[in-house]
Structure 1
Amino acid sequence: MEINQIASFVVRIQLSSVENGPSRKQWRIKVTHVQEECESLFESMEDAMEYMKNTAEKA
């Protein structure tokens, strides 16, 4: 039996502010899980990736 699991995400990354020069950029990251039509907001790429990994493993 073949199992076909799909987890699709749309990722939008927006610069929210710059503090003390270009090395201190802050980001607003919105991840939409397409299958569940669920949006989540993050401030770091690491947190967004962890969310996507955990969500995909649940599928």
Structure 2
Amino acid sequence: MSPEYLQDYEKERRAMANLEGIVRQLVSLLRYFAAPFVAAIIAWMFDEKHDVFNAVLVQN
């Protein structure tokens, strides 16, 4: 193996490790910020104006 190949491989390995770290941070932020939206959607489903659960029960 040539030294140039090893240097390119090492650069690519570092870049992928950095990318993996960035993706992990973004996923953790997304999980942190998604909770209020999930709670809002559940509250919307229980809201009387948009009574999703009763509409489903009445159909059956």
The TM-score, its normalising length taken from structure 1, stands at 0.35
> When you count strand as a share of all residues, which structure comes out higher?
1
The TM-score, its normalising length taken from structure 2, stands at 0.34
> When you count helix as a share of all residues, which structure comes out higher?
2
Report which of the two structures shows the higher radius of gyration computed on alpha carbons.
2
